[in-house]
Amino acid sequence: MRILKPSLVAAALCASIAMPTFAGDETVPSGTFVDEYGTSFEFQPCGAGTALCAVLTNLEGASATEDNLAFVGKQVIEAEQIAPNAWKGSLAAGGMSADATITQIDPNTVTIQGCRAAILCKTLSYNKAS
């Protein structure tokens, strides 16, 4: 399988321990968020209420290979809340995975940091689609 360009693999396609719900949490990413390349995810709460899941909804550019396009429409992220506005889990697609941290910067912006081998990390910013 040909893998996504490195920045996308680490940040986008690459589930954790359960954590308690954090009091005072006001926002959870929900809806479609798009990066500067046109790759998008549909975020929604899942699991026991503390998890965040994402479905890959679009791939653009060099990452849009036949193999990678097979993951469009599939859930590729599941992460548990670790702090207010932060979730940690995994990005997984086609036997490849990476540690992932999703941070909600504000209601319209999230970042996804993907790490492989604990040192090869990349962070991409995603903006809420209108």
29 vs 41: CA distance, rounded Å: 11
**Over the stretch 58-98, which tens digit does the pLDDT of each residue have?**
998 887 888 888 999 999 999 999 999 999 999 987 667 89
**What φ, ψ does residue 107 adopt, rounded to 5°?**
-60, -20
Q: What is the pLDDT of residue 116?
A: 85
Residue 47: predicted pLDDT: 83
Predicted TM-score (pTM) of this structure: 0.77
Q: List the beta bridge partners of residue 114.
A: 100, 122
